[in-house]
Amino acid sequence: MRTEPSTPTPGTIPAARRVVPEELTGAEAIVRSLELLGVTDVFGLPGGAILPTYDPLMDSTRLRHILVRHEQGAGHAAEGYASATGRVGVCIATSGPGATNLVTAIADAYMDSVPLLAITGQVFSTLMGTDAFQEADIVGITMPITKHSFLVRRAEDIPGAIAAAYHIASTGRPGPVLVDVTKDAQQGTAAFVWPPEVDLPGYRPTTRAHGKQIQAAAEMLAHAQRPVLYVGGGVVRSNAAEGLLALANACGAPVVTTLMARGAFPDSHPQHLGMPGMHGTVPAVLALQKADLIVSLGARFDDRVTGKAELFAPEAKIVHVDIDPAEISKIRVADVPIVGDLADVLDEFTSLYYPAHAAAETDLSPWWEYLNGLRAAYPLGAPDPSDGLLAPQKVIARIGELTGPEAVYVTGVGQHQMWAAQFIRYDRPRSFLTSGGAGTMGYGIPAAMGAQVGEPDRVVWAIDGDGCFQMTNQELATCVINNIPIKVALINNSSLGMVKQWQTLFYNRRYSNTELHTGAGTQMVPDFVKLAEAYGCLGMRVTREDQVDAAIQAALETHDRPVVIDFVVSADAMVWPMVPQGVSNDFIQYARDNAPAYEGGK
């Protein structure tokens, strides 16, 4: 049947306005289902088992297909698209190695709650289990790293599977869903019915929280003397930034934003203490550690924030708000557990806080006196390198200052990731994209590409390391061919910097296999400027501080192609502060000494 779509609402399956019975192939049904769900952009790479779908995809006027150079790039691009826009990202691959190349991106999306729909081709159903050419049990492989995985063997089941997958990916706690479609299902025909009946009896995500629990949380916050709002990526995923701001303004408590929540609360707000965790600011880390109440909002108490979990925040009561009941009390037992959608919870929380606070008359001034003392004593800083090369922190800070808060900043994983989280000021959600839970090197370039497709009117910077860049830089070809003008700031310290930092601190400076020979004093293998030019990008190299601003401005003024700037930085630069793995957050290594304990405000 031929249909005209209505405007989709996130998490819903759009109905059709007009229905004319039509017989479609399964491949045509995949394309039509995506169109009717409101999908406009997909990232993929064809192969034999998915080839039937690529034929009708060519005729679609509603779907823009971006041909990547590696399936991992398709997955990360779909992640970047989803994280920048809040919409479901879609990627397509063929069977066997095509599907397994998506696994890293799927796992990454699962860890960071990114709404992702992965569609893969599978061998003929009659050949499954025979070790046929390019056969892999991708449903079995991805089962632990998806919200759900579908195997479709019949053409008539395709619309329902695609619609259900989209619904699961975009509702509750967002995440990746895989739909694996056999080649005979794609080639077979069936009557196309839309909207399909989607019956998921085992999937009923809780969105409305219990009012009495929210009331209890409001009472605890009103009476706390050392409260902290611990903000995680769930605030971004639930579009709850405005509600967070209202609660923070109401209660006056300090706010810390995790790596995945950078931008969820404005850095410019006086109550924001920065990022907590292994490389968090001293005020943010110690605020959590010395708190008497932690209100966790869409965060999961991961090990990079807590350090040694049994020593984390020993005096704090816990209010834990999350849409996923499995996260509640998983790491730290919640005194007040609240399961629900943060956008709804925060509105009710704030309204209940006002009368509770009026009765409590709590004074937070001793708490703020301590925290402001930490701010003054332990600011983030960038010492000048002793080797005369660029300070990477200063380079990244200038990128943020010259570009501004309306841009999207995407990182790889490592030292440059932490510096980008620390030294760029984020004042809006979805402005900082990174791989948090999985820590995936190679995320940066394809994720920036996807973010630029989703947000074509924004500047998109990929802040990458020389190690990460060499894993996925082939997607620069995709960017050039498809007019996706991302800016790449290559923080080139000629090494696997974060690994080298650990070798410096914990392995007696034994630098086993961390030198990459890409920067100063080496053979420059490869020469990143020549590599950029070979791909059709504008390539520049910056080795002196007086060249930094001009190079960034040149990148911002270039709109017709991607830009790659090779910033040759000091290999000795370290990420500070640092809480070593497996210790209490009371032990913070700062550039010069350790931070003091909290003494007042009992």
Residues assigned a catalytic role: 71, 133-134, 183, 498
Collapsing DSSP to helix, strand or coil, 445 comes out as: helix
172 — alpha (psi -120 to 50), left (phi > 0) or beta? left
Q: Closest by alpha carbon to 537, among 458, 448, 457, 467?
A: 448
What lies within 8 Å, CB to CB, of 401 at 6+ separation is none
CB atoms within 10 A of CB 398: 18
Collapsing DSSP to helix, strand or coil, 24 comes out as: strand
Q: From CA 238, how far away is CA 298, in angstroms rounded?
A: 9
HSE, side-chain direction, 13 A CA sphere, residue 169? 32
Q: Where are the alpha helices (DSSP H) in 300-429?
A: 303-306, 342-360, 365-377, 392-403, 415-423
Q: Closest by alpha carbon to 109, among 85, 88, 93?
A: 88
Q: DSSP class of residue 448? A: H
Residue 141 in contact with residue 100, Cβ under 8 Å? yes
Q: Closest by alpha carbon to 424, among 406, 447, 441, 442?
A: 406
C-alpha distances in Å from residue 277, one per residue of 72, 376, 425, 582: 29, 19, 18, 12
